[in-house]
Amino acid sequence: MTGTDKKPVVKVEHLSKHFGEGSARVEALRDINMEVFPGQVVGLMGPSGSGKTTLLHCIACILEPSSGRITLDNEVVYDQRWLKADLRRLRLDKIGFIFQYPNLLPFLDGSDNVAIVLHLAGVASGPARSRAIELLDYLEVGHRKHALPKQLSGGEAQRVAIARALANRPRIILADEPTAPLDSARARIVMDLLKRIAVEQQAAIIVVTHDEMILDHFDHIYRLRDGRLELDSPPVPPVKAAPVESA
């Protein structure tokens, strides 16, 4: 379910970020405003150097903005300064990350690659493993729970990475070029999964992408150019999701 009757899970207000000072000053982000609601998958697009990754890192509480306000899951976390003392804990509790490459630990099998996030959050081994297996089953790679990363296909490895991102039940999922290493068929399967996750778990998902072939999976498309938000595209027409296939 999506819609403006709900409060946004991610709200960015008048966000700016610069690097350097004086003649070396670079304005990476300029007065950015955006909202992402429960159940939405939004695209963040723009040419290289436009500020996409900088914006994602600010929302992720990895990079400190220069000014503005960030609200995550109804909690103001930045308002001209960080309002949370433990940003690491905030990221563990609220945010799941999906990267261009799965970045799975090569010496851990599929279930342990997911469970490790729960261990970092202080969850005991038994519940952590049960949650990991539950997520792998949910993403239809439960049969690969004992496989090492080198034994997984590209699509399977990305599903394990998505399971890892979901481990702590985050309301916010940030994905940086998650379909870049995949062929078009597998890319669409991954986007179908993300859309299903957003709706079923009422999460807000932001996807940085250059992939024009997946635009019909987004509820909105934000475009950045030279640090400015150039356009918030209206929702795309609904597309009937294809059955999720093995990747």
User: pLDDT value at position 116?
Assistant: 93
> Contact 203/172 with Cβ under 8 angstroms?
yes
Range of the domain at 98: 10-19+26-233
Distance CA 173, CA 190 (A): 14
Give CA separation, 58 vs 18, 80, 209, in Å: 12, 12, 17
Is 4 contained in some domain?
no
Residue 243: the pLDDT is: 52
247 domain-assigned: no
2 occurs within a structural domain: no
β-pair type (204-208, 75-79): unpaired
Asked whether the predicted pLDDT for residue 2 surpasses 50, the reply is no
What's the pLDDT tens digit per position in 36-53?
999 999 999 988 888 899
Kindly report, residue by residue over 55-82, the tens digit of the pLDDT. Answer: 999 999 999 999 999 999 999 999 999 9
Report pLDDT for 174. Answer: 96
Report yes or no on 114 lying in a domain: yes
> Which of 19-28, 109-118, 141-150 bottoms out in mean pLDDT, i.e. has the lowest?
19-28
Per the domain annotation, does 51 fall within a domain?
Answer: yes
- Kindly list the distances between the CA atom of residue 153 and the CA atoms of 150, 188, 205, in Å, as whole numbers in the listed order: 8, 16, 24
Q: Does residue 1 form part of some domain?
A: no
Angle at 216 between CA 210 and CA 218, to 5 degrees: 75
- Residues 206-235 have pLDDT tens digits of 999 988 888 889 999 999 988 998 766 654
Spell out a b/e string for 27-58, using b for 16 or more CB atoms within 10 Å of the CB, else e: bbbbebebbbbbbbbbbbbbeeebbbbbbbbb
Is 244 part of a structural domain of the chain?
no
What is the mean predicted confidence (pLDDT) over 16-27? Answer: 90
**What is the count of structural domains for the chain?**
1
* Domain harbouring 58, CATH code: 3.40.50.300
Q: For residue 246, is it within any domain?
A: no
The candidate with the shortest Cα–Cα distance to 46, out of 167, 225, 237, is 225
Query: Nearest Cα to 52, choosing from 100, 2, 4, 87?
Result: 100
pLDDT at 244 over 70: no
Q: What is the mean pLDDT of residues 150-168?
A: 91
Helix (H) or strand (E) holding 102: none
199-209 per-position pLDDT tens digit: 998 999 999 99
Give residue 247's pLDDT band: very low, low, confident or very high (50, 70, 90): low
The pTM score is: 0.85
Which amino acid is it at 131? R
